[in-house]
Structure 1
Amino acid sequence: MNKISRRGFLKSTAGTAAFAIALSTSPHILAADTDNSGNVTPCLRFTADGEIFVCVPIPDMGQGMITTAAHIIAEELDLDLETTHIEMMSFQGHADATGRAAEGPMPQGAGGSLSTMMVWGPLQATAAYARELFIHAAAIQWQTSERNLTIKGGAVYNKKTRESLQYRDLVSHTRQAEYAVLRGNASPKPAKDRTRIGRDQRNVHAQAIATGSPLFGIDSDAPDMLQAVIRRCPHLNGSLVSYNRETLLAMPGVRHVVEVARRPDDLTRPWLVPNGLAIIADTFWQAKKAANAAEIEWDGSRAAAESSSVLKARMVDHLENGTPADSTRGGDIDAAVKNAAQVVEATYYHPHWAHACMEPHNCAADVKEDSAEIWTSHQSITESINAVAAATDLPIHKIKSNVMRCGTGFGRKYAPDFIMEACLLSKEVGSPVKVTWTREDEMEQDHLNPSGMYKMRAAIDNDGRLTGWHVRTAADGWIRNAAKEPPMGLVDNFLGEWGYIENNVRRGPWRGPQHNTAGWVIQGFLNEVAHAAGRDPLDFLLELFSMKDVQKLDTWPYPLLEYSRFKKLLKTVAKDSKYGRRMKKGWGQGIAIYHTFSGTCAHVVEVEMLGEKDYRVHKVTSAIDCGLAVNPLGIRAQVESGIHDGLCAAKYGNFLFESGVPITNNFDTYRKMRIGEAPPEINVRIMDFGDEEPRGTGEVSLPPVIPALTNAIFSASGKRIRTLPIAENL
């Protein structure tokens, strides 16, 4: 049975309002505050009775980083994760010149599909250093050469005498100065000696999740902790005017009614914390009932004229009459269009998408005069500490942040708002307070994926080759990728222009930010161009990616694209899916490829039309280039996850505003894909290009699945999808 570290419920400590949690030693800022007597490097901790805890640096929001990080450590130390506890690593950063928490050599935040890439080297080095400490300590104990020793199953093994010493028996010896091993002398295992990396490792929390064990921030509780529900301003940019304070205070269990001030108070700037009214009670349900009974008057006049339809109309006007905020160009796009045998034009549009995190936001905070401690589901240990500091004005060495497993995050749980709210309330009332968002809160106060419109134009010569590429964007966020990524720079003549529509919508990263829609726009329009040229879409893409061998992108994280790998992905996924075979009437295949951050993925989607207005995805065939496959099982899970997210957002995603107020605030108005709509067959091939290090995975499969889907719908029905969501535009 997998012995997974359990986070028990919070416990009150005698005579104080502090509470502790059993997940791990709390991640916090200064090593001096931590009892390191049982630690052998930051990646390994031992209890007094000899239990081993593997300490991982990156929070897990479903992307499998706890498992992947533990897998890397286990490789270097030959540990069995089925019999080893797993916990979060203590904070390894420092205070920067401004007093903010800053990351050290061990990254401790999840985002940009970079987690495995970032921790690969540091974790290998740290675990290898721990291994050398154990071997060095054992060599002195046995008075033998280190050449005679190796590691096996959590112990140092003497190849000559066949004796062994468990790691737990060597901990105190590794802490002695005379046993110090220079960090630079510790080398990770050679690839040929690995027994775990590249092999499947099941999720170390799988059993705990399946059996409902309290792993998540929302599970945190304590007998004396007060519960808070906040009625936040529903307007895009509004403020609290009045409310029925005395009535609320008289309701059962209500202890406090507290106004939550907007941060910053400058209404021309995006909020970090929205204006609201907090009801603090003995139980969540008491707080929720009182919050529902609050009679609040809001001033929403500043954004009352904004609605989804108005924003869309302003985008149309900007594309026709507006001035781009910036542009990128090469060659002569006007000459390419003038001399073209054919010019293809189209306009694409997508609405806002909500995160709809499975676990609504939450934070438990205990703020005292000279210290603060929180328990929360957040994507970054570092930024969670900074959120506490911003709310309390405490120096960061007085802050402890216990970061739990996230019930999804998708970028939204990188924000500070729910942490700051809990800290502000705990500080105000002088007691531990837990803030729990409802589903309506999570959607109404979301940091949405931006909405955008794209005017596309392509020039084709007499041989059906792409000779010019022009993209003009208008969006309510700074969306640049669609106007900056290939075919920009692949073809000699290109122009990318992007424009920003002033608005009050709160936006933020959503799984594969910018790429999630740029992939659809670019690959969807390339499919149109291929058909207009009388070309097979696969052949057209292969020819396009033969124009250059490599290309350095001007979008973060500025990767170098190797197009031989693109072509290999396309050929592989085409072969695996039998792309191009004759399909039954009403059936179709669509192919697409896209590079997201540091990884690339190609899909072939097969659909069947269900009448004129619906369809069924029967099969998705995928090939991913993610560098070294550290944990193939986890990679396949992430590819499948991205496919489902992409199919869902493409078909149903549509977050709406009217008169400056969200009218989409729960699953009755923001539909998600049902299990019966999920493709019954997904086949994932992980490509091996001989890389020695991993690349990105978590967000990489989502962007290309949307154009593969819309291209398949066109193949099956002849209908071109240029406006999302598909369910409303088929």
Structure 2
Amino acid sequence: MAAPSRRAFLKSGAGLGVLAVTLSVHPALIVTATTEAAAQDGPDNTGHVTPCLKVDETGHITLCVPVPDMGQGMITTAAQMIAEELDVDLDAVSVELMPFLGRFQGAERPVFDRFYQGAGGSGSTMRIWHALRRTAAHARALLVQAAAKRWGVPAGSLTTADGHVIARDARGGPGDADGGEPGGGPGRRLPYGALVAAARASGTSYEVIPDSRAPKARSDWSVIGRDTANVDGRAIVTGRALFGLDVEVPGMLHAVIRRCPHLKGEVTRYDDTRARALPGVRAVVPMKRLPEDVAAYRQVAAGVAVVADSLWQAKKAAAALDIVWDGSRAVEDDTVLMTEKARAALDDAEMTVAAEAGDLEAAFAAAADTHTATYDHPHWAHTCMEPMNCIAHVTGGGDTQERAEIWVGHQFMNTALKAVTMATGILPEHVTAHFYRMGTGFGRRFEEDFIMEAAILSRAVGAPVKVTWSREDEIEQDYCNPLAAYRVRAALDARGDITAWHMRVASDTRAVVAAREFPVGLVDTYRGEWFQLPNHVSRGAWRGPHHNVCAWVIQSFLNELAVKAGRDPLEYLTALYGRKAVLKSRNWPYRDVAFARHIAVLEAAADAAGHGPAPEAGRGRGIAVHQTFVSVCAHVVEVEMTSDTDYRVTRVTSAIDCGLAVNPNGVRAQVESGIMDGLCAARYGKLVFERGVPVTNNFDTYRKLRMDETPPVVDVHILDMGDSEPRGTGEISLPPVIPALTNALYQASGRRIRSLPLADQV
């Protein structure tokens, strides 16, 4: 089933007595009747008005949610918000993904207009929290007003429950329980479906919601904040839920691309004789590297594509291609060499200062003691469970306006549209996009290369083309987490407390965030510097960008300082975080966070884990905390050494402050997911390049945690700090679990881990 287009969603209610309500990020929400006239695209509504919520004559509610779901539970979270405000069971709410709604600006990337239509930065719930609830509250108010008019009673005398408007006092005459006759005696009720026509008639375009139609107060919630299973769980496990990989369209051909395995490499020549002789092959298409500027950050790899009737035919034919590659450009892009260059840059590279305060040299000269440590880590791959895929259909040309249509799972709708423009020159306003759920994203689906490939090939063969990546493609062509080395120095007083902080970072990306990270906000004298290493590796966002590794560096170093001072690591951390009241935000989403939250999660995790004396020999307990975006998480990881060179994680105890937990069950799932990802990256994460070629390209060489390597106990505690808004969950638990693990291993083995992955160290 195709995702609904804006026009289809509007027309689905035209003339059928459907109430449609739209949303906006602005205080004013917009209501529009779903008439045929409103369904016509035009300057008055295109990119400005689209329905978000439909209530039909059966009382069923359909929500068009603006943010995509990639496993973070947005469909369930959004359904909870709607069910709460409309006083219905979750079963009465269906959720679909809204088509793109934004402003087009020529060939430039479209901009979000009424609301944000992307998933990233652990911000999906934050971005829809007010808009969806206000939309549902508005719909509820229209239904109540319709019932009040029908019964001839004040709207304030009515309430809602179980999908009905109910009279709660004695005003008004006798009435039929099903709403067939006028009257609103106590206990009388009308189902929403019976009120849709009247509510729809009462709504006018561009009607501003009065304050009286505000969402419910927290004290009145019965759905928000309650453990809720995935509303689409059954659809997912039975195969009814469509991911991008599941989609097929009439006349679709399949493409498999042999991409250059060398970083920024080229095709020297190829022979397609054997490939063209195989059954089902329709075309062999050379793929140029786009853009041709080798310094460009994001690129489509050079290669040769086979287009065939089936995926298997395309795969077999692609394997039959005889290709000679030119990989001379990146022969020095070798993991060992890149790591050596990063560590060397810490000594003598001229770096960019990202943050600085106080007289650093004077502070170190006056210090009672100092401590220095150097850390490094390699590149990490995303390894999304659903490899990249996209269907594109380019039509027109010549005397006809060229247009494109795409079917894809992507984290940012405007970026997906822009990808077609970059590949073909077709303006975004002439691109129709159908978006689907994703089998994980982790930042990899920020990128556009797989969409561009599909558009290029569709134009080349004049038919809809589905590009499907293999696991090897997904790892070899990844926009991976950056490689980096860090040197941290601290000036200390007689108790071992920090008086000055100096961090130098050498990475193959702009490591600004890492260089100005905590504890800059707690130490008056500091300097953070960064240097970008030149290489040809494509880097991108990876779950908890920058935080995922700088948390390991910072929290490992703080543990070293605690041990050096002979102090309990928990006491050392709480004393440090207690120095000041608020962490001034330097990064997205630019909200200050009280340090009391850091202390609260530290103490909660420690208490739940039974913090006390050091465990017996061969066992270790490590603690760490980190703020990612505006949420804070702490872990206590417990390990035991199973040999001199191996370990087992026996328990992870976690505490998270993510603001309001709309769905605690979903929060726990995200925390557990981040823990497993972090433990996996710490143990095995290493994307190896040899002379510019990635040699770890599937799960036999790029290892993942096995079931018997996961902790048997994961205990998650969600702190309620009295917040009235959510703060984000998806990436929060991953960063602190890595230092908690390495700190535990130090206590268990006496070995300090300063280089990842652990598989190379223990």
The TM-score, its normalising length taken from structure 1, stands at 0.93
Secondary structure of the residue aligned to 2:677 is: helix
Letter aligned with residue 98 of structure 2: M
Task: Please say if 1:242 is aligned against 2:254.
Answer: no
Task: Please say if 1:408 is aligned against 2:440.
Answer: yes
User: What count of residue pairs does the alignment treat as equivalent?
Assistant: 708
Task: Please say if 1:510 is aligned against 2:542.
Answer: yes
> Alpha-carbon deviations, 1:685-723, whole Å to 9, x = none?
111111111112110100000000000000111110000
Query: Which residue number corresponds to residue 11 of structure 1?
Result: none
Checking the alignment, whether the CA contact within 8 Å between 1:482 and 1:521 is kept in structure 2 is no
Q: Distance in 2 between matches of 1:420 and 1:122?
A: 32
Letter aligned with residue 52 of structure 1: I
Query: Which residue number corresponds to residue 238 of structure 2?
Result: 211
Query: Which residue number corresponds to residue 40 of structure 1?
Result: 20
The alignment-based identity, stated in percent, is 50
Letter aligned with residue 669 of structure 2: A
> Alpha-carbon deviations, 1:63-109, whole Å to 9, x = none?
11111111111111123223432211233322247653221232211
Letter aligned with residue 677 of structure 1: E
Task: Please say if 1:727 is aligned against 2:759.
Answer: yes
RMSD over aligned CA atoms reads 2.1
Q: Distance in 2 between matches of 1:371 and 1:96?
A: 17
Checking the alignment, whether the CA contact within 8 Å between 2:109 and 2:415 is kept in structure 1 is no
Q: Distance in 2 between matches of 1:467 and 1:279?
A: 62
Distance 1:338 1:100, change over 3 A: closer
In structure 1, which of residues 312, 327, 345 is the aligned counterpart of residue 339 of structure 2? Answer: 312
Q: Distance in 2 between matches of 1:133 and 1:335?
A: 67
Q: Distance in 2 between matches of 1:33 and 1:443?
A: 42
Query: Which residue number corresponds to residue 686 of structure 1?
Result: 718
> Alpha-carbon deviations, 1:230-267, whole Å to 9, x = none?
11121111112211133322211001111222221222
Query: Which residue number corresponds to residue 282 of structure 2?
Result: 255
Letter aligned with residue 533 of structure 2: I
Query: Which residue number corresponds to residue 167 of structure 2?
Result: 158
Deviation at 1:497, TM superposition (A): 1.1
Task: Please say if 1:576 is aligned against 2:603.
Answer: no
Query: Which residue number corresponds to residue 182 of structure 1?
Result: 208
Secondary structure of the residue aligned to 2:76 is: helix
Secondary structure of the residue aligned to 2:520 is: coil
Checking the alignment, whether the CA contact within 8 Å between 1:592 and 1:705 is kept in structure 2 is yes
Query: Which residue number corresponds to residue 67 of structure 2?
Result: 58
Q: Distance in 1 between matches of 2:351 and 2:439?
A: 39
Matches within 5 A, 1:437-448: 437-448=469-480
Checking the alignment, whether the CA contact within 8 Å between 1:459 and 1:469 is kept in structure 2 is yes
Letter aligned with residue 219 of structure 1: D
Deviation at 1:573, TM superposition (A): 1.2
Task: Please say if 1:121 is aligned against 2:148.
Answer: no
Distance 1:623 1:617, change over 3 A: same
Q: Distance in 1 between matches of 2:414 and 2:275?
A: 37
The worse-fitting range, judged by mean Cα deviation, of 122-131 and 594-603 is: 122-131
In structure 2, which of residues 660, 667, 683 is the aligned counterpart of residue 635 of structure 1? Answer: 667
Letter aligned with residue 586 of structure 2: D
Deviation at 1:32, TM superposition (A): 8.0
Checking the alignment, whether the CA contact within 8 Å between 2:57 and 2:193 is kept in structure 1 is no
Query: Which residue number corresponds to residue 674 of structure 1?
Result: 706
The worse-fitting range, judged by mean Cα deviation, of 133-142 and 313-322 is: 133-142
Distance 1:400 1:713, change over 3 A: same
Deviation at 1:133, TM superposition (A): 1.9
Distance 1:484 1:313, change over 3 A: same
> Alpha-carbon deviations, 1:314-342, whole Å to 9, x = none?
11221111100234222222222222222
Letter aligned with residue 581 of structure 1: P
The worse-fitting range, judged by mean Cα deviation, of 358-367 and 162-171 is: 162-171
> Alpha-carbon deviations, 1:19-58, whole Å to 9, x = none?
xx2xx41368x99898766451133235687653222221
Distance 1:684 1:338, change over 3 A: same
Letter aligned with residue 349 of structure 1: D
Letter aligned with residue 325 of structure 1: T
Query: Which residue number corresponds to residue 147 of structure 2?
Result: 138
Letter aligned with residue 53 of structure 2: L
Checking the alignment, whether the CA contact within 8 Å between 2:60 and 2:92 is kept in structure 1 is no
In structure 1, which of residues 533, 538, 545 is the aligned counterpart of residue 570 of structure 2? Answer: 538
> Alpha-carbon deviations, 1:476-528, whole Å to 9, x = none?
11122332122213122211111111111000000000000000000000000
Q: Distance in 2 between matches of 1:380 and 1:405?
A: 12
Gaps of 5+ in 2: 22-50, 169-183, 397-401
Matches within 5 A, 1:548-627: 548-627=580-659
Q: Distance in 2 between matches of 1:520 and 1:276?
A: 38
Deviation at 1:553, TM superposition (A): 2.7
Secondary structure of the residue aligned to 2:20 is: coil
In structure 1, which of residues 65, 71, 88 is the aligned counterpart of residue 97 of structure 2? Answer: 88
Checking the alignment, whether the CA contact within 8 Å between 2:59 and 2:193 is kept in structure 1 is yes
Distance 1:93 1:157, change over 3 A: farther
Deviation at 1:182, TM superposition (A): 2.9
The worse-fitting range, judged by mean Cα deviation, of 32-41 and 391-400 is: 32-41
Q: Distance in 2 between matches of 1:119 and 1:130?
A: 16
Letter aligned with residue 507 of structure 1: R
The worse-fitting range, judged by mean Cα deviation, of 84-93 and 568-577 is: 84-93
The worse-fitting range, judged by mean Cα deviation, of 180-189 and 619-628 is: 180-189
Query: Which residue number corresponds to residue 434 of structure 1?
Result: 466
Secondary structure of the residue aligned to 2:222 is: coil
Checking the alignment, whether the CA contact within 8 Å between 2:415 and 2:448 is kept in structure 1 is yes
Secondary structure of the residue aligned to 1:196 is: coil
Deviation at 1:303, TM superposition (A): 1.2
Deviation at 1:536, TM superposition (A): 1.1
Query: Which residue number corresponds to residue 469 of structure 1?
Result: 501
Gaps of 5+ in 1: 1-7, 9-20
Letter aligned with residue 86 of structure 1: V
Secondary structure of the residue aligned to 2:556 is: helix
Q: Distance in 1 between matches of 2:308 and 2:89?
A: 45
Checking the alignment, whether the CA contact within 8 Å between 2:99 and 2:434 is kept in structure 1 is no
Q: Distance in 2 between matches of 1:598 and 1:280?
A: 46
Q: Distance in 2 between matches of 1:429 and 1:81?
A: 45
Deviation at 1:564, TM superposition (A): 1.5
Checking the alignment, whether the CA contact within 8 Å between 2:107 and 2:428 is kept in structure 1 is no
Task: Please say if 1:79 is aligned against 2:88.
Answer: yes
Query: Which residue number corresponds to residue 355 of structure 2?
Result: 328
Letter aligned with residue 175 of structure 1: R
In structure 2, which of residues 716, 729, 742 is the aligned counterpart of residue 710 of structure 1? Answer: 742
Query: Which residue number corresponds to residue 29 of structure 2?
Result: none
In structure 1, which of residues 271, 284, 291 is the aligned counterpart of residue 311 of structure 2? Answer: 284
Distance 1:178 1:62, change over 3 A: closer
Q: Distance in 2 between matches of 1:666 and 1:226?
A: 26
Q: Distance in 1 between matches of 2:426 and 2:189?
A: 48
Checking the alignment, whether the CA contact within 8 Å between 2:232 and 2:241 is kept in structure 1 is no
Q: Distance in 1 between matches of 2:566 and 2:613?
A: 18
Matches within 5 A, 1:283-302: 283-302=310-329
Checking the alignment, whether the CA contact within 8 Å between 1:240 and 1:275 is kept in structure 2 is yes
Query: Which residue number corresponds to residue 147 of structure 1?
Result: 156
Q: Distance in 2 between matches of 1:184 and 1:256?
A: 60
Task: Please say if 1:68 is aligned against 2:77.
Answer: yes
Letter aligned with residue 416 of structure 2: S
Letter aligned with residue 695 of structure 1: R
The TM-score, its normalising length taken from structure 2, stands at 0.89
